[in-house]
């Protein structure tokens, strides 16, 4: 590809330069197409490996909570969700009130 680019730079006539430019463009297209194909294959392979690995997962720890293969989580997470729900409902009452108080 460098040779093609060098040919463009050392061309003497406009016709030579146009021909060299066309050859360079064609080679460049093939290289880019090859790179895209390789990237696509690489990403597909990674996705397949991740999918296979995920089949063997029995439990997952997310934000300090263990989630099992059925998507169920421990009582601690249920308590945290309950507290968040209560706090949201209290804030929702404040947001919806006609006369907000400032303390």
Tens of pLDDT, residue by residue over 40-87, are: 888 888 888 888 877 777 777 767 777 777 777 777 777 888 899 999
Specify which residues 59 forms β-bridges with: 68
Quote the CA–CA distance of 38 and 25 in Å, as a whole number.
20
Q: What is the pTM for the complete model shown?
A: 0.36
Residue 73 pLDDT: 75
pLDDT, residue 85, reads: 92
Output the six-digit token pair for 39: 């990237």
Residue 30, token pair as written in the block:
């093939």
């Amino acid at each position: 590809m460098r040779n093609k680019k060098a040919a463009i730079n050392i061309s003497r006539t406009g016709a030579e330069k146009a021909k060299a430019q066309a050859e360079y463009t064609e080679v460049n297209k093939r290289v880019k197409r090859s790179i895209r194909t390789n990237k696509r294959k690489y990403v597909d392979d990674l996705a397949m490996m991740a999918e296979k690995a995920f089949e063997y997962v029995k439990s997952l720890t997310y934000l300090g909570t263990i989630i099992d293969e059925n998507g169920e989580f421990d009582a601690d997470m249920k308590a945290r969700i309950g507290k968040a729900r209560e706090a949201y409902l209290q804030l929702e009452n404040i947001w919806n009130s006609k006369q907000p108080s400032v303390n």
